[in-house]
Chains A and B, each alone.
Chain A
């Protein structure tokens, strides 16, 4: 508060009070620990009569009536106090530091609580922390902000998704939490559409108290509130924007042309084959990374207008975001337009209408990424000896020696893959205050998305024998297809288009009760009903022979396919419904003892009549022991012990999995024509039920002084009846085309962990202020049971057609790595001959494997010599956030670190001609040369068996964001009618400390839990330098 105005008010008040002939009350105001407090506002309740304390904390006030007068003491940063004078003329007052943070509203689902009273493990992230990072997606900004929530970026490409994992992986299938935006279900896959700038706050329900959302709550719940206006506020216009330049944060150390030629000659030479290079003096050659990576721009603007009248408020916004990719430039572009209109209208004193309307148009172009055949995979493996273009023909070079590695520049040129989404999310909500105890809420939330996709595949020729060729030859002639005896037609360029709509509607009505009995007994109750329906429909088509082989005509309507023979169409539709009722009761005694229970009953159309309804109970309680009389630590202003236990569910299975349908593939060729038949698709399981997660949480919240807060949680999260589609016995006949194992309930997973957060905040009103937040999570994930008869479920393979490297297996984390342990390199033939260990086919220079089962030989045909080589799940994650303000300057930093996980280096094509990382220069060349890297040879060998040689530590520490801001002095702005203006520069992904050799140690799990930690040439997160401004009018 501006001090001058403050004193002016005080003077007026004092002047006013002097005119009356009343009794005087004197006293001194002190802090609990003894220091006097100057400037405390002392007000006679029910009047405008007030004074403030002087420098020594003393005050003197005249009151109307010495017996009945009530004084209110208030000061920023302290809890206000009201004291009945009761005839005293001297009153000394102790004021406690206010627990502003404790009164903070926490959204808990169908109601709110305060940080002080909440009994569950929740976390809250404010808008500012999210906006600062200028990320395209809200989840990216969430990383490192709160404990227990791990965000894995699945792609660094613009608009690339992340996976949000709350308290580990608790299911084999979909681990995404339930996300609600203003109470409306928001698909985590669709998070691209949500503008982080529209978010006011994010509340995360981590423990069993999320059970108010029942069958969908097992993975945790994220409640997002968008920005709302305030009543009685003048219109406020804000404009912000930034522009940034992105560049790859890392390049791999690959062999240059000379090194490549020398090493390849050695490779072939050791196998007594002809040297591929007569001349090895080839200079640097082509640096494919130079050719592929580019600097890319991004920019964004946000305009918002908010305000309110006596009975209404509004918050409207427009925004634009666009980002090119560091690989592919505009072929990896992501662009989004958002419009938002949130309104609140008090129809009368008791009735309020809340409206939310969010519109998004987003478009995203993508290149193949993180897989065999992705642009970066080709970049890493392309030969440095080949130029980008053949100097004679001018065509892109062919990289002829390897069939599946193609020229990445040519590849990017031929890829056109665009998605466009139009999405409307809205809510109409009526809140009726029946009386001071009862509130009735009725609301309809809806979500409509129109998703269009178009992929154009022109005729392309990458070189002889390349699997990706779509043309018959380098002249780009189309291939021929024989459609009947000796009848051939052209198979030209094709375009795939699809249009899908997704609509969901949630109708909810609930009654909240809130009453305090006899001052000490607080009772709250919530009862409600919820109806949910989601429907999706899609049609798609592929059309061939696009004229001119050109994107300009890439539309189904332009197809010139003879007789339409090759063209094809498809469609799908689905519908699912939920019917739920929920009840929550809360009781608090003196805000000291708090208990709460939740019951939700859910019915889901995903399950068959045998198991359609489920009941999910939760109990929780808290004890604010700092309020106890025996608690004698004045420094500790707040201390709360929390406990919760409950059951929540997961219904993430396909619709109709409980019954067998004829949706398999039964296709054969009669009369040389593809003939459609029918076959059973997924086998049925009428007894299918949701998987259930039992979660226990023990938590402690402590505040020391006011600025220092601690939160500690210990949790055990056990998921039972895991929804699985494991292999089933062949005799069930589900291994045919389009056939699938039945979905069954089998297997258990356990997650245990400890979360710890500490925050320190100084008084933000001071010239120099700062805030620090540190959080860490320890997590242990373990598969407790696999389905009967299933020893393990195989996951991702290593290399091309190689061993299965990851598994879901009892006693290990989900997706752990299994393979051979190496023990250096065989140095000589004598060593091999004299070794008690028999390793079939071993030659000097080959990796020496460890005999795990002690039978004296390495068994390559079973897993008896294979052991756990790592896990993709970090043991510890750390987040560190730091803000400093000094006068007009501000600075902030955000760091994230994950420790204890491993990565499989799977971007190296294990093929004689593929380029390699330069660590192979230190290969074995003779007895004693090295014990690290095996020999290079094209001879048959076992060095490419999956072993710890290909597993690296994935530990990293990343400085995610550093920002410097400056708020312009008001004098400068007044002329321009600007209220405030802040400018900043900021760097995202400034530095990453890691020992990992790939592009990015943060490689996510795009292919699901069993493909996590497998790096196929991950699209790395860019380093971005940004400059931006925030203007308030």
Chain B
């Protein structure tokens, strides 16, 4: 009997517990552990700070802007292991790119991811008040402007989403906002960020007032607002405390990062590796390793994937007296091989070979990116440096009719590499400044957008169709995913 009673007790207990659990809905109400929900966040200043770091993260995808800015132009070819290795870049190189292009899609997606992270902060900007909030908001606002500026340059009209996170249902209602409106939003974001930013960064890598002003100046230049550009860039030149580095060769060395010519650079580290499967997840710069020499063994340089190879056209564009910049910008591998006493070995990739490598962003010994050197590098990407500011300002003043200031600025840049002063004026000076931009900023990702901006792309780029290739196509899959309501860019 006793056993029977115990057994009954067991049944009763299991049944009761089962029934009570069953009727009690709480049993299935689990809360995630050790992680916070996206809603109900921003309850302490630290939250803003952490979310801001998340918004900075997407800057690291900018190596793609560098690649495409060069490969699409007359400066370089795609390279790589084969013609299907990162095929999107080869298509762009050949000016046959269309709506199916993984790299363009990454540009589109990564910048929107950055925008979304900025909006996450900005929509919650009024949750609490604390000292230092204005600067955090200013940084987030700057970042949003930067991301939109990339989209503006690449794609023209893009959906403008400000201060909100879309739900899935928000996608089908979206439409491409006219690029003028996007442009106005970028200008407005930068103008609202500038007053709350400092000239000196609190930490290496933080956005400064100088960075925001320089970007604003650049944005104005893209819309030919030369007066505004000149004023804005003059502000950087006069108040920023920047100057040109004496040694042009030292501009892109890890050891010199944060030098006085740095206006806005994207921070990378070589300490954490990663995988080819997720380039946006890397904390290192993908460009130098990818630009590196294939199967390289020898001194100074490291091994890499032979991407983004400079053309002979670019090499030859440097005049006989412009060797400093030429050799700092372009590595002539055979010449280098001859000059070395140690054995130099390398392989030629099936994706193309010019004999030249991007010598600014290239894998060098001592700038490693463990564990896979091909993949990451600690070398920061200098998005805007003081020489760029000077050249932009020169262009703005020249177009504004102030050739004296223009010459002053452009000659500062030339004198640094022992080149004689320019003396031209008017439209000849404009051409000279544009040419100076190509040579000074070779391999830094500006060329294609400069050519398009100055209406010179059709002359310089084989296969470039004006009215079509000025913009890249919106990735077809993004048009589909948005419900098919977005139009494609003309010609695609």
Q: Please report A residues at the B interface, Cβ cutoff 8 Å.
A: 347-348, 350-351, 400-403, 430, 432, 440, 442, 444, 464-465, 467, 470, 479-483, 485-486, 491, 507-509, 529-531, 566, 573, 575-577, 579, 581, 603-605, 609, 612, 655-656, 659-680, 683-685, 727-739, 742, 744, 788-791, 799-803, 861-863, 910-912, 938, 940, 942, 944-945
Contact = CB atoms under 8 A, between A and B. Distances in A.
A660 B37 contact: yes
B155 to A, nearest CB: 11
13 contacts: A401-B347, A402-B295, A481-B271, A576-B30, A579-B21, A661-B37, A680-B116, A680-B117, A733-B117, A734-B113, A735-B109, A801-B84, A940-B352
B204 interface: yes
Interface stretch (B53-61, B414-422, B434-442, B446-454): B53-61
B159 A861 contact: no
B130 interface: no
B84 A733 contact: no
B45 interface: no
B297 to A, nearest CB: 4
Nearest to A576: B30
Contact of B350 (A732, A863, A912): A912
Interface stretch (B2-10, B311-319, B327-335): B2-10
A403 B294 contact: yes
B38 A730 contact: no
Given A581-B22, A670-B206, A730-B109, A482 B57 contact: no
A667 B61 CA distance: 12
Given A467-B372, A659-B37, 6 more contacts: A348-B4, A529-B15, A665-B281, A679-B51, A735-B112, A862-B100
A491 B271 CA distance: 10
Interface residues of B, number: 116
B57 A733 contact: no
Contacts of B54: 664, 666, 677-679
Nearest to A431: B7
Contacts of B55: 666, 677
Contacts of B114: 733, 736
B244 interface: no
B299 interface: no
A903 B393 CA distance: 60
A402 B303 CA distance: 12
Contacts of A942: 83
Q: Which of A442, A480, A664, A788 has the most CB of B within 10 A?
A: A442
B205 A670 contact: yes
Contacts of B431: none
Contacts of A944: 82, 84
Interface string B267-282: 1111110000010110
B271 to A, nearest CB: 5
A151 B80 CA distance: 40
Contacts, number: 310
Contacts of A612: 25, 28
A288 B34 CA distance: 50
Given A430-B11, A482-B254, A670-B205, A791 B480 contact: yes
A661 B14 contact: no
B7 A430 contact: yes
A861 B98 contact: yes
A245 to B, nearest CB: 39
A117 B166 CA distance: 55
Contacts of A674: 269, 271-272, 283
A401 B97 CA distance: 32
Contacts of B81: 800-801, 911
Interface string B180-224: 000000000000000000000001111000000000000000000
B27 interface: yes
A156 to B, nearest CB: 26
Nearest to B108: A730
B4 A464 contact: no
A479 B376 CA distance: 14
Q: Which of A664, A670, A734, A910 has the most CB of B within 10 A?
A: A670
Interface in B459-492: 475, 477-478, 480-484
Contact of A403 (B97, B295, B350): B295
A464 B205 contact: no
Interface string B30-56: 101111111101000001011111111
Given A668-B56, A670-B204, A351 B481 contact: no
B171 A733 contact: no
B66 interface: no
Given A403-B303, A674-B283, A735-B280, A669 B38 contact: no
A756 to B, nearest CB: 42
B297 A577 contact: no
A742 B168 CA distance: 9
A575 B30 contact: yes
B35 A662 contact: yes
Nearest to B85: A801
B112 A465 contact: no
Nearest to B297: A464
Contacts of A480: 366, 368
Given A351-B7, A430-B7, A605-B30, A677 B51 contact: yes
Contacts of B11: 430, 432, 440, 442, 509
Given A531-B17, A665-B57, A862-B98, A579 B22 contact: yes
Given A668-B59, A670-B204, A738-B281, A464 B303 contact: yes
Q: Which of B27, B59, B84, B255 has the most CB of A within 10 A?
A: B84
Contacts of B352: 940
Contacts of B29: 605, 609
B82 A464 contact: no
A529 B18 contact: yes
A326 B482 CA distance: 51
Interface string B95-139: 011111000011011101111110110000000000000000000
Closest A-B pairs by Cβ, 5 of them? A733-B116, A666-B54, A677-B53, A736-B113, A735-B109
A674 B274 CA distance: 14
A684 B370 CA distance: 35
Q: Which of B87, B97, B206 has the most CB of A within 10 A?
A: B87
B378 interface: yes
A403 B303 CA distance: 9
Contacts of B412: none
A474 to B, nearest CB: 11
B150 interface: no
Nearest to B16: A509
A540 to B, nearest CB: 15
A731 B30 contact: no
Contact of B116 (A351, A609, A732, A737): A732
Nearest to A675: B53
A799 B370 contact: no
A575 B34 CA distance: 12
A688 B27 CA distance: 19
A539 to B, nearest CB: 12
A738 B50 CA distance: 15
B91 A861 contact: yes
Contacts of B3: 347-348, 351
B174 interface: yes
A483 B368 CA distance: 12
A507 B17 contact: yes
Contact of B38 (A670, A684, A911, A912): A684
Interface string B289-329: 00000111100000100000000000000000000000000
A736 B278 CA distance: 10
B57 A736 contact: yes
Contacts of A661: 32, 35-38
A381 to B, nearest CB: 14
Contacts of B272: 674
A670 B30 CA distance: 36
B165 A789 contact: no
Given A491-B370, A742-B168, A789-B480, A662 B36 contact: yes
